[in-house]
Homo-oligomer: A and B are copies of this chain.
């Protein structure tokens, strides 16, 4: 019997790409999720409270989504911003969708403080000081706030 033909492309199931860190990520730190995206708490000691909003399927750019999907994803990003403003009381919020290393749509929602390691620079810049560590916001409080803003998944 001849060997099975090699797969034509590396997709292991619809919209999922083998080897993509976010397609294959274990569900750790999930604060809220539905069938479209998830909000994950990132355990960054310098940036307590930082969340990522991760699209479930593999897509690289916001304009690869339909306008309705873009709105749906941004609604979750802005709910995450709202929850962080209430629970973590930061001095500023930073929002970014970069995806250079992992081109699978994900939004960074980052609480910033005037005395954090990089302020007023971006968190990806050279640090400007030793950070005064802020207490990590309570993940259960963030999850409750997201549920209140977005409903049950």
**Residues of chain A having any CB pair with chain B under 8 Å:** 60-63, 67, 70-71, 74-75, 78, 81-82, 85, 92-101, 103, 112, 119-122, 124-126
Do B85 and A78 touch (CB < 8 A)?
Answer: no
CB distance from A61 to the nearest CB of B (A): 5
| Residue in chain B with minimal CB distance to A122 | B124
How many copies of this chain does the complex contain?
2
Among B70, B78, B100, B112, point to the contact of A62 (Cβ < 8 A).
B78
User: What separation, in Å, do the CA atoms of A127 and B61 have in the docked complex?
Assistant: 23
A63 cross-chain contacts in B, Cβ below 8 A:
78, 81-82, 85, 93
A to B CB contacts below 8 Å, 24 in the list: A61-B81, A61-B85, A61-B92, A61-B93, A62-B93, A63-B82, A63-B93, A67-B78, A71-B71, A71-B74, A92-B99, A92-B103, A94-B98, A94-B100, A95-B97, A96-B97, A98-B122, A100-B112, A100-B120, A101-B120, A122-B122, A122-B124, A124-B125, A125-B125
CB distance from A46 to the nearest CB of B (A): 15
Do B74 and A70 touch (CB < 8 A)?
Answer: yes
| Residue in chain B with minimal CB distance to A126 | B126
User: What separation, in Å, do the CA atoms of A103 and B137 have in the docked complex?
Assistant: 23
